[in-house]
A and B are shown apart, each in its own frame.
Chain A
């Protein structure tokens, strides 16, 4: 709910806001955020889902071909304030891929980023506009989120797993 308020404060025209979730983790968060935003702003907020796999910078460097996830972009992004929603942001490479993918759908007026958890090991100049929690971790550690599906704050436990333990 706090993030929804911040988004409305930051965006003078909430009617232009378009939530775009990055699967898989961003999708339940995006849904919850849309509910909260609709309550705060008092109007319908559109939501899209944008898979970044085909825009990754490491897809064809190894034999691995990651599974593709769903992309559904029901509304035009032209002139909208697009808010990308991701569960955990670390290196920033997924957000970079998401921005490239987004531009193939049109010309948003602005792009902002929501992350539930920011681990902070940025490898690209990407900034997070709305952060649920900053979690200092070592790069080799893994972060798992536990809690009610899509809850943006509270009710949520972040488990930091040391390197080498099973996933």
Chain B
């Protein structure tokens, strides 16, 4: 049973994930209509509370809310209000007093959405917190895989990149494992957390071995600003060893698909050609993101404290 808040995939049961994906598949039809709007959340207010800048995820939640007829308010305090010593909680409580029906939170510090969920009357959706979780990204990735492959159970999913600092990787590891897929992670050793195998995944240092027999290959975005640090010597070396191109993709299954949460550093995580053409499904991921977020909003908007979204 889906709880009131969506803070992480770690908290969900497999049946919850299935319910969300099924609901999202129904929502997709609305995006294909001429009038892309249903009246379901008329009179409801959704607050996008983004402490960390984000164009894509915020726009996706905004479009999702609007397609369900909710009023969507974007609130991006950024760093400025923090420097004015206004605490995160104060900001959130101020918004809560305006009676929103859902608060969507992104913050660079892990655990902030959870803290807000404990204090607010409105349900909270985590839109990414530090290196912790990004549940709607993982759900839209699972939706994309389900549609491409017809199933998730039994597939092999290889995630490439900075696993240690990626909330996308973490949420996908939980999600795909719960759905019965075999998850592998691969990257330069400093980017693989020491305890990653305790999450039930297999860690590789060789990209070739990690790709052997993979159905789904997911490249993570490399945070270029981190490259200057000690994690790896140069972008060129990363691209040569872990950057995916058609030659390396041959190690995976013939019908493997390529995913990326965007935005792609072309020529780094993916070759230019792969970034733009099949078998990469990056724009399908974006399109599915709207339907998936509509499903999440439909399932939890307006739930009272303690209430669950019953099937």
Instruction: Report chain A residues within 8 Å CB of B309.
Output: 63-65
A64 close to B26 (CB less than 8 A): no
Closest residue of A by beta carbon distance from B310: A64
Q: In the docked arrangement, what's the CA distance between A106 and B40, Å?
A: 19
Q: In the docked arrangement, what's the CA distance between A104 and B301, Å?
A: 23
Number of A-B contacts (CB under 8 A): 52
B304 close to A104 (CB less than 8 A): no
Instruction: Report chain A residues within 8 Å CB of B38.
Output: 54-55, 101, 104
Stretch at the interface among B27-35, B49-57, B73-81: B27-35
Instruction: For chain A, give the interface size range.
Output: 10 to 19
Closest residue of A by beta carbon distance from B68: A54
The residue that B40 contacts in the complex, of A60, A71, A104, with Cβ under 8 A, is A60
The residue that B37 contacts in the complex, of A65, A68, A104, A106, with Cβ under 8 A, is A104
B26 close to A69 (CB less than 8 A): yes
Kindly state whether residue B197 has any CB partner on chain A within 8 Å. Answer: no
A63 close to B304 (CB less than 8 A): yes
Instruction: Report chain A residues within 8 Å CB of B33.
Output: 104-105
The residue that B310 contacts in the complex, of A65, A71, A72, A101, with Cβ under 8 A, is A65
Smallest CB–CB gap between A1 and chain B, Å?
A: 32
Interface string of B254-284 (1 = CB under 8 A from A): 0000000000000000000000000000000
Kindly state whether residue A51 has any CB partner on chain B within 8 Å. Answer: yes
Smallest CB–CB gap between A81 and chain B, Å?
A: 20
The B interface is mostly helix, strand or loop, or mixed, namely loop
A63 close to B307 (CB less than 8 A): yes
Kindly state whether residue A100 has any CB partner on chain B within 8 Å. Answer: yes
A54 close to B23 (CB less than 8 A): no
Smallest CB–CB gap between B45 and chain A, Å?
A: 12
Instruction: Report chain B residues within 8 Å CB of A160.
Output: none
Q: In the docked arrangement, what's the CA distance between A162 and B300, Å?
A: 34
Kindly state whether residue A158 has any CB partner on chain B within 8 Å. Answer: no
A55 close to B26 (CB less than 8 A): no
8 Å CB interface, A47-65 against B: 51, 54-55, 59-60, 63-65
Instruction: Report chain B residues within 8 Å CB of A104.
Output: 33, 35, 37-38
Measured CB to CB, the residues of B under 8 A from A are 22-23, 26-27, 29-30, 33-35, 37-41, 44, 68, 298-299, 301-304, 307-311
Measured CB to CB, the residues of A under 8 A from B are 51, 54-55, 59-60, 63-65, 67-72, 100-101, 104-106
* A55-B39, A60-B40, A105-B33 known, 11 other contacts, Cβ within 8 Å: A54-B30, A54-B40, A59-B40, A60-B41, A63-B303, A65-B310, A68-B22, A68-B26, A68-B27, A101-B38, A104-B33
A-B contact pairs, 11 of them (CB 8 A): A54-B30, A54-B38, A54-B68, A55-B39, A63-B304, A65-B298, A67-B23, A68-B298, A104-B37, A105-B35, A106-B34
Q: Which 9 A-B pairs have the closest CB atoms?
A: A68-B26, A63-B307, A54-B38, A54-B40, A104-B35, A65-B309, A71-B29, A60-B302, A65-B299
